[in-house]
Amino acid sequence: MAAYDPNNPNSGLTARQFAALISNLVTLRYGRGDELQADQLGVRFMADAGYDPRTIVQVMEILSRADGPGMTSEFFSTHLNPNNRIEHILEAIQTLYPNGVPDGLKS
């Protein structure tokens, strides 16, 4: 990294960009954790309301297809990859229904 030059207005640009990147990465951790918690709560709330929580997986599959092959790397994204969210949603469903989702829930 080049030294800071007070006579060059662009010399601090790299440092500012680096600081912004670090700030974004720290912030992403909290947003993603919140997103996983929202998915877990969504599974529970849907089941409590009489809906089949497996339909959330179908929504994530639609989002995954919509992202397409050129999607942003999850490392730099504000959201988890839908496929990773599916894994967590299925775990939440398994925790809520260890013997399988009961019949009769609305889809």
Query: Which residues, at least 6 apart from 49, have a Cβ–Cβ distance to it below 8 Å?
Result: none
Average pLDDT of the segment spanning 10-29:
64
What residue spans define the domains of the chain? 14-96
Tokens representing 58 are 């179908």
Cβ-based burial of 96 (10 A; exposed 0-12, middle 13-18, buried ≥19): middle
Q: What is the pTM of this model?
A: 0.61
Average pLDDT of the segment spanning 14-18:
68
pLDDT of residue 75: 46
Average pLDDT of the segment spanning 3-16:
62
